[in-house]
Structure 1
C-alpha cells in the first residue's frame, strides 16, 4: 500500500501559526501508520514523499495520484486529510483505494480530541487497527 502524505485543513482560526508543528505531526502519523501496518504482516507499505507528488502531480488529480501509486507497485493507496475545526476538535478523513480502479476499499471519518502529539498518535494507531480489521 502506498501512503500519500497526509494533508491538513485548519479552519480553527487560531492566531498562532502552528504550521511546522502540524507538518511534523502529519509526517509522524504517516510514518506511524506505515510502521503499524507493516508490523502486522498483512501489508507492505511505501511512503510517497511530498516532493514526489509535487513533481509528478502538481494539481493532485486523483488519476495522477493513482498512477504514482501504481508505478510504485502498490495495489492500494492511502489518502488522508485531518480537519482541525477548533483547538480541541479534529477529524481524520481516511480512504484506502484500489490503484487500478480508484474504487474505495475502505473509508473512515474519525474524530479525535486535542491538538497534541499524543492525540494524533492515538488517532493514527486507531486508524491502523481499522485498516488491519478491514483486511488487505
Structure 2
C-alpha cells in the first residue's frame, strides 16, 4: 500500500487546488470524489481485469449514491466547482482472498486530511465488494461530519517570577519544569482530537517574551501554518504558591478566543505541570 499512500500525499500537496464558492450555490456541502485506483498484486494466473473494472465501477457508483442520498451533501465534479471535501482512494488485491482499501477525505479549504485510513476486506466477488462499499461509505460519511482539528501553535510557557529570589538561583530547574508544562499541555490538547499541534519551536520564537508582545504570537503562529495560537505563563508568587494563565488567539484576526486563569495555587514548581494540564483541559476541552 506504500504506492497508494504516496499517491495520496502527492495529491494533497501538489494537485489539490483551492475551492471556489460560486454565488447561489446550494446549502448542501459539495463533495468531489475521484474514481479509486485498483492494483492487483495477487499474482493469480487468471486475468480478472474485466471483473475488477466492473466491480470497481459498481463500488464507486454505490459510494457516490450513498453520499448523494444524505441531504447534507451534494456531488460536484471537482474543487473548482465548489467542493468543500475531496474523497480519494485506491484498492489493492494482495492475495486470492485479501484486498486492501486506502481511503482519504480532504478538507479542501484547509488543505488538511480529515480521514486517512487503511482497511482490509476478504473476498473478491460481488457480495464482498458490496459489503466493503457499505463499510467504507459509513466511514466516509462519519469523516465528512467530523470537523477537522484546529491547527494550534502552543508556544513555550513562560515564567513570571515575583519573588525576591535571584534570577539565576534556580534557572536550570525552572527551565526544566517549564518544558514539562509545555510538553504536557501539548500532549493533552493533541490527544483530545480537537487540536493538531503545530511545532512552535525555533530561535525566532524563543527570542522574545510573548506574554508582553501585544498579541505578536498570532502572527508568528500564522507563519507556522496554525489556525490559532496559545501562550501560557506561570506566575510564581512564592516558592510554594503560583498562578497559571493562558490565552488563545485567532491567527487571522488576532482576536482572543479563549483565556484562562487558575487563581492562586499551592505547590512547588513540580506541581506546575499538573495545574497547567488541568486548566487548559477544563477551558479548552471540557467546555466544548
State the TM-score, normalized to the length of structure 1.
0.77
Offset of 1:101 from its aligned partner?
Answer: 4.0
Matching residue within 30, 37, 41 for 1:11: 41
CA deviation digits over 1:18-53, x for unaligned, max 9? 11111111111111111111112222124x5xxxxx
- Measured in 1, the distance between the counterparts of 2:140 and 2:72 equals 10
Distance 2:54 2:35 in 1: 11
Alpha-carbon distance in 1 for matches of 2:110, 2:72: 21
Matched, 1:37 2:46: no
Of residues 83, 92, 108 in structure 2, which corresponds to 1:99? 108
> Structure 2, unaligned stretches of length 5 or more?
1-30, 147-288
Alignment partner of 2:87 out of 78, 82, 105: 78
**Stretches of structure 1 lacking an aligned partner (at least 5 in a row):** 49-68
**Greater RCO (CA < 8 Å, at least 6 residues apart):** 1
Q: Is the 8 A contact 1:36 1:128 kept in 2?
A: yes
Runs of 4+ in 1 over 4 A off after TM superposition: none
2:216 aligned partner: none
Distance 1:108 1:41 in 2: 25
2:55 aligns to what? 25
Q: CA RMSD in A?
A: 1.5
Say how many residue pairs are matched.
115
Distance 1:11 1:116 in 2: 17
- Measured in 2, the distance between the counterparts of 1:16 and 1:99 equals 40
User: Larger Rg: 1 or 2?
Assistant: 2
